[in-house]
A and B are shown apart, each in its own frame.
Chain A
Amino acid sequence: MKEKAFALFLLALFLFTLPLSLLFRGVEGPLGLPPLYLYLFGAWALVVFLAFLLFRRP
């Protein structure tokens, strides 16, 4: 559990702090939504989902 939690923490840290300005230069993305926010909320949702899978059984 501890190792997996730490691995998930590192993944989340990477996803949340990578140099976003190098990746998201446009204001319009899929469905007309800003790609930056699609990425941030998508990465966040992914981390929450993985945390759910990891921690659902105490």
Chain B
Amino acid sequence: MSPWTLLLGLFLYLGLLFLVALWGEGRPRLTQSPWVYALSLAVYATAWTFLGSAGRAATEGATFLPIYLGPTLTLLLWPWLHGRLLALAKTHRLTSWADFLHLRYGPGPLAPLAAGFLVVGLLPYLALQLKAIAQAFLFLSGEKAPLADVALLTALLLALFAILFGTRRLDPSERHPGLVLAVAFESLVKLFALLLVGAFVLLSLGNPFPLAQARPDLHPLLLPPEGLSGHLAWVSLVALSALAFLFLPRQFHVGVVESQDPSHLPKAAWAFPLYLLLINLPILPLALWGRLLLPGENPDLYVLALPLLAGNPWVAFLAFLGAVSAATAMVVVEGLALSILLSNHLLSPLLLRYRALGSLLLWRRLAILFVMLLAYLYFRLAGEAYALVGMGLISFVAVTQLAPAALLGLYWKGATGTGALAGLVAGILLWAYTLFLPALARSGWLPQAFLEGPHPLLRPEGLLGLKGLDPITHGFLVSFGVNLALTLGISLFSRGRPQREGRTGEVGALAALLERVLGREAAEGFLREAQGLSGREAALRAEALLSSAIGPATARLLLLSVTQKAPGEEGYTPLLEEAARESKEVRAYAQALEAARRELAEAYERLKALDQAKDELLWAVSHELKTPLTAVRALAEILRDHPDLPEEEKGRFTALLAKETERLSRLVEEILAYARLQANPALEKRPTDLKALAEEALSLAEPLARERGIRLERALTPLFTHTDRDRVLQVLLNLLTNAVRHAKSRVRLELAPKGQEALFRVLDDGPGVPAEARPRIFEPFQSLSGGTGLGLYLARRLAEALGGRLYLEEGEGGAFAFTLPLEVADAGSLGG
């Protein structure tokens, strides 16, 4: 293929990625889809997967697979690992594992060391991508050299892409939705491309397995690694890739920083392993066909070479785009993650010292370029001596050095900063001695004698005389093992951990600081968030925002200028507890006060109502008394002024006088009864036979009934209770005389138990109570029959004082019901 065609295709593809990223910038809902999240995790599959896996399968057999089985294991643990990480990242705005180490172990050299080491440790991995693209480009264009020039061009191009979409502004959230969408898109492209190449090769060339099985020299590719060392290498690779998936900066960036929605994780936990499984399906057939048909070719280029061999350059070009896609996604996200690491933990403190923090964005862009140029430098130094997978594995071992400090810090309270630092330093030194420096030695940049070591027990690839292990397994087991042992051991013997000094500050001053560093938008957002927060909480919030943009160390330094020391941690907790206790007491006191105020208000209202009722009563009583008194006075005056009145007339007037005074007397009696009731005298309760009481009431009402020609009927059930006998009799008499006055021919008294009550019913066949009078029938001085109008009012009050109810029933005629609680005082004596 012509180099210009390739270049044109490459630029067109990168242009398409730009458009996808731009399109995604304004669509946060799309980029927050769980599918996009799962696909963005596939940034794990790089040019190493696309080109290097077939290369490793063609030389080492099945050992290309553990690299993908490990992440599957890690994702199954998401409820512990990722869930906790997401929660922490959301609270503290973590942007990397180094931020976590700073948060967990406090200020010190640990986090900057981790950040710096990650940059160095990932150089081989970045170099691998440059090499993959450069190799593929030269292979398809039919050239062999100069590989380095193409790699440099690639590095610059990818750095430009990362700068454009990763560092457009300083965003405290460090989220780049457009970039995430572009990565997800690239993941689809590389999966589609590799599956298409595999399907095309299988359809064109057929099934490679029978041919491979007939070739004994290819049998090692179809069999598992042999012996204990082979098994150890297999298990180590599974563990190594499981840890690397968790600690690679780009995985932290897409998995934690870019998406902090925990609901995406369950889908990713099965969708991403499925993606890895699918993308690995064509690897072995491609590797076997490569070994069968292209014995002299570089195995890392089988994916490109086989479609060409099968006569379809366009499929080869698609494979090239897939490889570019895989490399681009990795380089851009890794470059961005490393630039954040560099700027947060190394650059920002320096810039602050030289008062140049305002140019942080420029420095971050330069950091991306710097990292890419370093990767290119590593490629020039060591890259040409290694296969793609070999280079990647060196970086895998590097990132796992963070695992002991981070995982123990995440789950074990006993882990100390001293232990973590000792473990990390030892791990880094051993990684460099067993993997990084030997890589340079094999490339000729160090003397070959280095590989033999100063002593047989100190051979870089066989420490303590270890033999039979491949360099990666050896380097991983040694560096990780010593790191873990030191972190654990020194933590156990070093006490305490640095306490973070609490700070407190004014919200306004904190917002002004945020505006200076992050811009007005961030300050306004902070002011909205900080409403109602205490000075300590606001300072913590501001620190989290600053930390994510300029790193925790610099954020802390800046914060010192606008905050002051809060009460110390030791004194703070008891103070807080005391304040909480006092606050609880004050709250209880206030509640009691409020209850008393409510009661007082209610009592006042009752008093007001009673006062008003008393006034109304006085007015009504005066009014009721005035009528008979006026009549009495008028009659008396007539008798006084007219002594000559006829005897018959005198007799009529005297009878009228007697009637009016009788009415006055009755009125006064009822008013006295009302007054007694208002005085609330104690009830005289004693065992009472209710049936006998009812009989007595009937016998008392009998003369009036007989006078009016009314028949008294009864249906009485024997019942006993503990009550004030006289008052019950008063109520019954009131109801019976009322009924007799209104009845036409008969009145019926019933007594029966109803639940826990005795029910009296007084029924008459009179006209009943008119509907309009029903609501007022129990109010004082509301008479239907010309009486005082106090009778029913008094009867109801008496019934209530006895613990019962008095009410008017619905239906024809008069029907009053009166209940009494059945309180049995002495069941034995009363037979109840």
Binding site for B on A (CB under 8 A): 1-2, 5-6, 8-9, 12-13, 16-17, 19-21, 23-25, 27-28, 32-34, 36-37, 40-41, 44-45, 47-48, 51-52, 54-58
A-B complex: 6 closest residue pairs judged by Cβ atoms: A20-B224, A55-B266, A51-B270, A34-B222, A58-B266, A52-B270
Contacts of B76 in A (CB 8 A): 5, 8-9, 12, 47, 51
CA distance A40 to B266 in the complex (A): 23
> B69 at interface (Cβ–Cβ under 8 A)?
yes
Which of B230-238, B371-379, B395-403 forms contacts with chain A?
Answer: B230-238
> B589 at interface (Cβ–Cβ under 8 A)?
no
Which of B252-260, B273-281, B360-368, B645-653 forms contacts with chain A?
Answer: B273-281
Which of B205-213, B445-453, B596-604, B801-809 forms contacts with chain A?
Answer: B205-213
In the complex, what residue of chain B is closest to A58 when comparing beta carbons? B266
Contacts of B207 in A (CB 8 A): 32
In the complex, what residue of chain A is closest to B283 when comparing beta carbons? A37
Say whether A21 contacts B238, CB under 8 Å.
Answer: no
Contacts of A32 in B (CB 8 A): 207, 209-210, 213
CA distance A5 to B76 in the complex (A): 6
> B28 at interface (Cβ–Cβ under 8 A)?
no
Say whether B284 contacts A37, CB under 8 Å.
Answer: yes
Rounded to whole Å, the gap between the CB of A50 and the closest CB of chain B is 9
> B263 at interface (Cβ–Cβ under 8 A)?
yes
Most buried by B among A19, A40, A51, A52: A51
Could you pull out 5 A-B pairs where Cβ atoms are within 8 angstroms? A12-B72, A32-B209, A36-B222, A51-B75, A55-B269
Which of B2-10, B46-54, B77-85, B729-737 forms contacts with chain A?
Answer: B77-85
Say whether B72 contacts A21, CB under 8 Å.
Answer: no
Say whether B231 contacts A27, CB under 8 Å.
Answer: no
In the complex, what residue of chain B is closest to A45 when comparing beta carbons? B277
Question: Pick the contact of A25 from B223, B225, B230, B267 — CB < 8 Å?
Answer: B223
Question: Pick the contact of B77 from A9, A19, A57 — CB < 8 Å?
Answer: A9
Contacting A at CB under 8 A, from B154-209, are 207, 209
Supposing A6-B77, A12-B72, A48-B274 touch, asked if A24 and B209 sit within 8 A by C-beta, the answer is no
Contacting A at CB under 8 A, from B269-301, are 269-270, 273-274, 277, 281, 284
Supposing A1-B79, A21-B230 touch, asked if A44 and B224 sit within 8 A by C-beta, the answer is no
Contacts of B309 in A (CB 8 A): none
Question: Pick the contact of A21 from B212, B226, B262, B263 — CB < 8 Å?
Answer: B226
Question: Pick the contact of A44 from B69, B210, B219, B265 — CB < 8 Å?
Answer: B69
CA distance A2 to B76 in the complex (A): 10
Say whether B234 contacts A51, CB under 8 Å.
Answer: no
In the complex, what residue of chain B is closest to A25 when comparing beta carbons? B223
CA distance A27 to B224 in the complex (A): 10
Say whether A27 contacts B222, CB under 8 Å.
Answer: yes
Rounded to whole Å, the gap between the CB of B243 and the closest CB of chain A is 13
> B441 at interface (Cβ–Cβ under 8 A)?
no
Say whether A16 contacts B73, CB under 8 Å.
Answer: yes
CA distance A45 to B278 in the complex (A): 10
Contacts of B235 in A (CB 8 A): 17
Supposing A5-B79, A36-B224 touch, asked if A55 and B213 sit within 8 A by C-beta, the answer is no
Q: Beyond the given A25-B223, A27-B219, could you list 12 further A-B residue pairs with CB under 8 A, ordered by the A residue number? A: A5-B77, A6-B80, A17-B235, A20-B231, A24-B223, A28-B213, A32-B209, A37-B222, A44-B277, A47-B72, A48-B270, A56-B267
Contacts of A2 in B (CB 8 A): 79-80
Against A, the Cβ 8 Å flags (1 = close, 0 = not) of B22-49 are 0000000000000000000000000000
Interface of B is mostly: helix
Rounded to whole Å, the gap between the CB of B60 and the closest CB of chain A is 13
Contacts of B277 in A (CB 8 A): 41, 44-45, 48
In the complex, what residue of chain A is closest to B78 when comparing beta carbons? A5
CA distance A33 to B66 in the complex (A): 20
Most buried by B among A6, A24, A27, A52: A27
CA distance A1 to B263 in the complex (A): 14
Say whether B273 contacts A48, CB under 8 Å.
Answer: yes
Rounded to whole Å, the gap between the CB of B237 and the closest CB of chain A is 10
Question: Pick the contact of A27 from B66, B213, B262, B269 — CB < 8 Å?
Answer: B213
CA distance A23 to B62 in the complex (A): 14
Contacts of B281 in A (CB 8 A): 41
CA distance A55 to B270 in the complex (A): 7
Contacts of A1 in B (CB 8 A): 79
Say whether B226 contacts A58, CB under 8 Å.
Answer: no
> B65 at interface (Cβ–Cβ under 8 A)?
yes
Question: Pick the contact of A40 from B65, B265, B267 — CB < 8 Å?
Answer: B65
In the complex, what residue of chain B is closest to A23 when comparing beta carbons? B224
Rounded to whole Å, the gap between the CB of A45 and the closest CB of chain B is 6
Contacts of B269 in A (CB 8 A): 51, 55
In the complex, what residue of chain A is closest to B216 when comparing beta carbons? A27
Say whether A47 contacts B226, CB under 8 Å.
Answer: no
Rounded to whole Å, the gap between the CB of B292 and the closest CB of chain A is 14
Rounded to whole Å, the gap between the CB of B5 and the closest CB of chain A is 37
Say whether B62 contacts A12, CB under 8 Å.
Answer: no
Contacts of B146 in A (CB 8 A): none
Rounded to whole Å, the gap between the CB of B226 and the closest CB of chain A is 5
Say whether A21 contacts B267, CB under 8 Å.
Answer: no
Rounded to whole Å, the gap between the CB of B221 and the closest CB of chain A is 9
Contacts of B227 in A (CB 8 A): 21
Rounded to whole Å, the gap between the CB of B271 and the closest CB of chain A is 8
Say whether A17 contacts B222, CB under 8 Å.
Answer: no
Contacts of B234 in A (CB 8 A): 17, 20
Say whether A12 contacts B73, CB under 8 Å.
Answer: yes
Say whether B273 contacts A51, CB under 8 Å.
Answer: yes
In the complex, what residue of chain B is closest to A33 when comparing beta carbons? B209
Say whether A21 contacts B224, CB under 8 Å.
Answer: yes
CA distance A47 to B73 in the complex (A): 9
Say whether B231 contacts A16, CB under 8 Å.
Answer: no
Question: Pick the contact of B73 from A9, A20, A21, A36 — CB < 8 Å?
Answer: A9
Contacts of B230 in A (CB 8 A): 21
CA distance A8 to B73 in the complex (A): 9
CA distance A27 to B288 in the complex (A): 13
Say whether B73 contacts A58, CB under 8 Å.
Answer: no
CA distance A12 to B230 in the complex (A): 20
Question: Pick the contact of B62 from A6, A40, A57 — CB < 8 Å?
Answer: A40
Say whether A34 contacts B266, CB under 8 Å.
Answer: no
Supposing A2-B80, A47-B273, A51-B273 touch, asked if A21 and B225 sit within 8 A by C-beta, the answer is yes
Say whether B266 contacts A27, CB under 8 Å.
Answer: no
Against A, the Cβ 8 Å flags (1 = close, 0 = not) of B493-522 are 000000000000000000000000000000
Say whether B73 contacts A13, CB under 8 Å.
Answer: yes
Rounded to whole Å, the gap between the CB of A18 and the closest CB of chain B is 9
CA distance A1 to B83 in the complex (A): 12
CA distance A55 to B75 in the complex (A): 11
In the complex, what residue of chain A is closest to B207 when comparing beta carbons? A32
CA distance A47 to B78 in the complex (A): 15
In the complex, what residue of chain B is closest to A55 when comparing beta carbons? B266
Say whether B77 contacts A44, CB under 8 Å.
Answer: no
Contacts of B266 in A (CB 8 A): 55-58
CA distance A44 to B281 in the complex (A): 12
Contacts of B223 in A (CB 8 A): 21, 24-25, 27, 34, 36
Contacts of B75 in A (CB 8 A): 51
Contacts of B77 in A (CB 8 A): 5-6, 9
Rounded to whole Å, the gap between the CB of B402 and the closest CB of chain A is 21
CA distance A54 to B209 in the complex (A): 35
